[in-house]
Amino acid sequence: MRLVSRPLPLVATVTLALNDHVLKGSATLPSVLTGKLSDVAGLFVVPVLVAGLASELGVRGRALSRVAAGAACAVGLVFAAIKTSPAACAWLTAHGTPTVCDPSDLFALPALVAAWMYVTRVAKVGAGAATSRGRASAFERIGLVFAALASLATSPAPRPFTAWQVKEGKGEGRAIGCARVDVWVAKSGKEGAGFFVGADAQSTCDVQIVRAELEIAGRTYAPAELPREPVHPGGKAYLPFLFDNEKLWNENQREGTLRLSLVTGGVPSELHLRLEHVWTNDRSGPPGVAPPRSSAPPMPLAVPPESTSDENDAGISL
């Protein structure tokens, strides 16, 4: 009985393989679209593949439909658990399978129903057909192997990227008055970088960020948005800086300084952190959890200190 070597599962299998190994990371299609394509194609292919293997072992008719239903249920439960569990995503990512914890991917679950309906229909049509005592044709076996490889193979390893890092004291709280403050890079990309400013849960007061600036190569960048509310003990605030990060890397700019003016317990203080611009493939941290984006319009990106208006015009701008 031919299950995997028919047009519909073949198209899904080719889509899965092409998407995971060619389209992802190529910028040909948006990453959101390539991710959803993989989910839909993969959820359809796996139950059909399991049913195809069962058919090779002689399972027919309603029994084959039940095999497909069981496979669809099992795959659906595992998929839903992974997509809604940050802990599961973290474990998979740490073991070589980069996984994004995104509940919106659950919209692809109807592909499992489509797979079960497809197997049920083919099982009914082929119930009375002669199939050489149930043995699949050579074409069907090739389809089974191809589908298995496409389902088991993972996407290519993520390429290294440029990122800003806190040069010293990463992950170590700094005692500032009545609070312990930590600062770390939350996001780094071609268009800028974002930092989290957190207050340790053991702090006895809030931390108010009064002023922030990022200095790189003699230029000073203001955050796109400064948090209005203080950072409470155990909380954190996000500081997004927008600038041409790719240009800085190409200009061999590898160091910077983040300056924060803070108020803890009514007492003002300054915190200066040295940063380094590195080439890395370290994607440690909560997988799939993007830092919050600024809701305010971007402020001027480059404001060189004590410069003339002509010099300001030469800075990076939108």
Every domain of the chain and the residues it spans: 7-152, 161-313
Query: What's the mean pLDDT in 269-274?
Result: 93
Note the pLDDT of residue 285: 44
Note the pLDDT of residue 288: 34
Structure tokens at 141: 């076996």
Pick the CATH number of 161-313 from 2.170.270, 3.40.190, 2.60.40, 1.10.3470: 2.60.40
Q: What value does the CA radius of gyration of the chain take, rounded to a whole number of Å?
A: 27
Instruction: Say how far apart CA 222 and CA 211 lie, in whole Å.
Output: 9
Q: What are phi and psi of 193, to 5 degrees?
A: -150, 155
- Give residue-wise pLDDT tens across range 62-95: 898 999 999 999 999 999 988 888 888 777 766 6
Full-model pTM: 0.48
Q: Which of 256, 219, 216, 214 is nearest to 239 (CA)?
A: 214
Indicate the pLDDT class of residue 271, thresholds 50, 70 and 90.
very high
Q: Which residue has the higher pLDDT, 174 or 132?
A: 174
Asked whether the predicted pLDDT for residue 295 surpasses 70, the reply is no
| Pairing, β 179-189 against β 161-166 | unpaired
